[in-house]
Amino acid sequence: MRRAPQPPTLVISCHADTPFREHWLRRSGDRCVGHLDNFAGVYAVMTAFFSGRLVHHGVRIELTSGEETGMQGARAVAATLSPDDFVAVVDVTGVETDALVTIGKCASPRLQQFVRAALAGCRYTLFEDCPDPVADLDESDVYREVTDNVVFLGIPCQGGDYNAGPVECRLASIEAASEAIIRLADHFVRTFHRGAG
């Protein structure tokens, strides 16, 4: 007997390793300054998780290691994916923008339509490519070897190279990234898991 095809999974992927031997963070008004790569992403993902608003069916969170040294964690996750699965990579970005978050590496019209429907009303900028002046390679490139359904959710940082030292970002950007994760997951479940428990 043939098994029924399984609905796709949404993976929220966020590297939890950093390039620093020590870390510090200071809050200053509506901004935070410090070693944000990629603690800002981890904080956004965990805020989404602990909000209690992430729909659990068909959504999985992966906090990966090795992004700074060959992306071993992303490669291990990629080995579990199918071509129909979706991945949202959450990380800091050096893109200059007035938007609270960015969606990058989103060239597919179908993915753009999905993102726009999920994030209607949110303050973000969508890019088909990766205009980050600091780094253009990340975990999304690993996942794209398995599935075309990959987007990069960037938390904009200012003040230099986030791989080399302290930078700053708006606290509102971290909150907006968390909200975007929740909305992407909600739209994904409503689109691909109708009637699932």
Q: What is the CATH number of the domain that holds 175?
A: 3.40.630.10
In-domain check, residue 150: yes
Does pTM surpass 0.85?
yes
Chain-centroid distance of CA 117 in Å reads 17
In-domain check, residue 4: no
In-domain check, residue 133: yes
> Which distant-in-sequence residues (6+ apart) come within 8 Å of 152 by Cβ?
88, 89, 91, 93, 102, 103, 104, 105, 106, 130, 138, 140
Residue 187 CB neighbours (<10 A)? 18
In-domain check, residue 20: yes
- What pLDDT is attached to residue 192? 87
In-domain check, residue 5: no
In-domain check, residue 2: no
- What pLDDT is attached to residue 3? 61
Query: How many separate domains does the chain show?
Result: 1
- What pLDDT is attached to residue 72? 94
Least Cα distance to 12 among 53, 36, 41 occurs for 41
- What pLDDT is attached to residue 197? 44
pLDDT per position in the chain (197 positions), as tens? 566 567 899 999 999 998 888 999 999 999 999 999 999 999 999 999 999 998 767 899 999 998 878 899 999 999 999 999 999 999 999 999 999 999 999 999 999 999 999 999 999 999 999 999 999 899 999 999 999 999 999 999 999 999 999 999 999 999 999 999 999 999 999 998 765 44
123 is in which domain, residue-wise?
10-192
